[in-house]
Amino acid sequence: MSGSAAGAAASAPILSVRDLRCTIAGQQVVEDVSFEVPATGITAVLGRNGVGKTSTLRGILGLISRRGEVRLAGERIDGLPTHRIVRRGVGYVPEDREVFSKLTVAENLALAERQRNPRREFVAELFPDLVARRDQPAGTLSGGQQQMVSVARALLNDNRLLLVDEPTKGLAPRIVTEVADALEEASKTVPILLVEQNLEVVRRLADDAIVIAGGRVVHVGKARDILEDDDLTRRLLGVHAEHADACDALSERSESK
């Protein structure tokens, strides 16, 4: 595919997805998805609501029925069950955060620790607010704080790749910035495949981007080039990239849900 994984020219991709097809309850939700994720930086997955972004991540993780070839650092993982894919170093921050609401922040984090020396200090530096709230039940946190817990859980382990699904959805602008700060910092240590509909966040964080429409990859390139292409963003993302500020893009999206 032209322009594919341009940022990975110097090194092999950390993830390569070929002809991925996924079904949910017999319905095909991902048609024929192929792309590569460079071994460094943030790669954005863009596309309108319902095009199959979440299903693509869930297919990579084996959380839904899938066919096709998925390689992590060159090794096939498409035949593995989810827990083995996670053990190989694929961290997941799901779309709806999925914190254990009755458990405290500390308990939520402890449950996520997979390795002997979890990166507790790194996470504590990144999210001081969570340290202060360690004994608070996660269900009583704000949406933004719950998102921090969800991201923090993934960062406790030495992952080779993070899959992060719409981390800023529904958050107030100030919190969007905080979550973006955390992802930017995290991306210095681990490559991230980021589903994100807030184009200001994409503009700030993403190096490369893929655009999905109707369950297929329809465009691959540099995130900046895609965002600067007004016709493309209008056709494939349903917004005017040049004119939409973060809040407009966000509220349009949540209203259209």
Q: Directed axis angle between helix 173-186 and helix 143-155, to 10°?
A: 0
Structure tokens at 230: 């007004």
Four-residue CA torsion sign, 220, 249, 195, 58:
negative
In the complex, least distance from residue 232 CB atom to ligand ATP, rounded to whole angstroms: 17
From 2-10, 47-55, 109-117, 235-243, span contacting ligand ATP (CB under 6 A): 47-55
Question: Choosing among ligand ATP, Mg ion, none, which partner's interface includes residue 2 (Cβ < 5 to 8 Å by kind)?
Answer: none
Beta bridge partners of 254: none
Instruction: Tell me the C-alpha distance between 137 and 148, whole Å.
Output: 14
Residue 11: CB atoms within 10 A of its CB come to 10
Q: Which is nearer to ligand ATP, 47 or 191 (CB)?
A: 47
- In the list 27, 75, 116, 188, the residue contacting ligand ATP (rule: CB under 6 A) is 27
Which window, 19-27, 66-74, 116-124, 220-228, contacts ligand ATP (CB under 6 A)? Answer: 19-27
CB closer to ligand ATP, 10 vs 25: 25
The pattern of x and - marking residues 35 through 64 that bind Mg ion according to CB under 5 A reads: ------------------xx----------
Report the SS3 class of residue 60: helix
Q: Per CB under 6 A, which region of 10-18, 46-54, 130-138, 172-180 contacts ligand ATP?
A: 46-54
User: Which amino acid appears at position 193 of this protein?
Assistant: L
